[in-house]
Amino acid sequence: MEFINITQENIKNEHLCCAVAGMKHAQGVETKKTWLAERIEEGHTFRKLDTRGKVFIEYTPLEKAWVPIDGDNYIFIYCLWVAGGFKGQGHGRDLLEYCITDAKRQNKSGICIISSKKKKPFLSEKKFLMKYHFKVVDTIDDEYELLALSFDDSEPAFRPNAKEQKIDSQDLTIYYGLQCPYIPDCIRQIKNYCNENDIKLSLIKVDTLKKAKNMPCIFNNWSVFYKGKFVTLHLLNESYLKKMLEQ
C-alpha cells in the first residue's frame, strides 16, 4: 500500500478516508470535497493511505488555516488519524515525517497542532507528538494545548479571542465549519433532539477564514457552548448531547 495526495485532478474519484463508512455521511463528504477543492490552491495537503481505511494527515499554511491561531510561516496540522487495524504499522510516523519533510522543503519556520493535556477524541495524541520534539507553546484553560515543532525558535500562539471561552447567549450554541464530513449528520441529530425536547439551539456556520480566526474559543471545525460557557470540541450525536445536558 502506498500513500497518495488529494489533488484537483483526482478529488472527484478518490474517497476521503476520514468518512468511509455508510451513506449517512455522503452529504458531508461532498461538502468536504467542495471545501477542500478551494483550499488546495492555498497549499492545503490531504495525504492518505491508498486503501479504504482511516489513515491520513491534513495540513495547510497557518496563515490560511481555519483556526484562531497566529504564527509566522508555520504549517498547521488539522488532523492526523490512524484508526482500527491500521494502527501499529508505522503509518502515523510516515505521515508525520512526510509533513515535517514537506515543511522544511518549503522553508517553513515550523509545524503546529492543537492537542490536549489529557487524550481527547478528534485531537492528535500529545504523547506521540512529543516523540518528534513538539513542545507546548500555548494553552487554553489549562486543558487544550498548542504544540509546535519549531525550526528557528519562533513560536505560534492562540489568538486572544480564542481564550475568551464564553459568549453572551445562554442557548445551546454550536459553531461549525465545512471541513469535517461528519458534521452534517451531527447537526441533523442535534436538530432532531432539540426539537423533540424543546431546547433552544443556535447553529453558527463558520464559512470564512476571517470568522474562523476570530472565534471566541478554541476551534478546529467544531465548538460547543452551553449557558454561555465553552463545553467541548467533541462532535455531538443525540446520545452524547443528552449526556452532556444532563451533567
Q: Are residues 150 and 28 in the same domain?
A: yes
Number of neighbours of residue 17 by Cβ within 10 angstroms: 20
Q: Are residues 138 and 218 in the same domain?
A: no
Predicted local distance difference test score (pLDDT) of residue 18: 62
Q: Are residues 89 and 167 in the same domain?
A: no
180 three-state secondary structure: coil
Evaluate the CA torsion angle 100, 87, 49, 118 in order and state its sign.
Answer: negative
Whether the pLDDT of residue 21 is over 70: the answer is no
Q: Are residues 188 and 154 in the same domain?
A: no
Q: Are residues 143 and 166 in the same domain?
A: no
Q: Are residues 155 and 187 in the same domain?
A: no
Alpha-carbon gap, residue 201 to 218, rounded angstroms: 20
Element of type H or E holding 139? strand 135-140
Domain count across the chain:
2
Q: Are residues 110 and 140 in the same domain?
A: yes
pLDDT in tens, 142-168: 899 999 999 999 999 999 999 999 999
Grid cell 475568551 is found at 164
Number of neighbours of residue 244 by Cβ within 10 angstroms: 15
Q: Are residues 187 and 200 in the same domain?
A: yes
The boundaries of the domain holding residue 123 are 3-159
Whether the pLDDT of residue 111 is over 90: the answer is yes
Cell triple for residue 184? 452534517
Alpha-carbon gap, residue 91 to 68, rounded angstroms: 29
Between these two residues, 225 and 19, which has the higher pLDDT value?
225
Q: Are residues 187 and 133 in the same domain?
A: no
Q: Are residues 148 and 183 in the same domain?
A: no
Main-chain phi, psi angles of 229, to 5 degrees: -120, 145
Number of neighbours of residue 58 by Cβ within 10 angstroms: 23
pLDDT-derived band at 132, boundaries 50, 70, 90: very high
Whether the pLDDT of residue 34 is over 70: the answer is yes
pLDDT-derived band at 24, boundaries 50, 70, 90: confident
pTM for this model (two decimals): 0.94
- Mean local confidence (pLDDT), 168-174: 97
Whether the pLDDT of residue 1 is over 80: the answer is no
Whether the pLDDT of residue 81 is over 60: the answer is yes
Final residue before a domain boundary, out of 159, 184, 215: 159
Final residue before a domain boundary, out of 159, 181, 210: 159
Alpha-carbon gap, residue 76 to 79, rounded angstroms: 9
Q: Output the average pLDDT for the chain.
A: 93
Final residue before a domain boundary, out of 100, 133, 159: 159
How many residues are listed for the chain in this entry? 247
Share of the chain above pLDDT 90, in %: 77
20 three-state secondary structure: coil
Predicted local distance difference test score (pLDDT) of residue 19: 59
Between these two residues, 48 and 52, which has the higher pLDDT value?
48
Q: Are residues 73 and 153 in the same domain?
A: yes
Q: Which of 34-48, 114-128, 199-213 has the lowest mean pLDDT?
A: 114-128
Grid cell 492518505 is found at 48
Alpha-carbon gap, residue 51 to 32, rounded angstroms: 19
Q: What is the CATH number of the domain that holds 191?
A: 3.40.30.10
Share of the chain above pLDDT 70, in %: 97
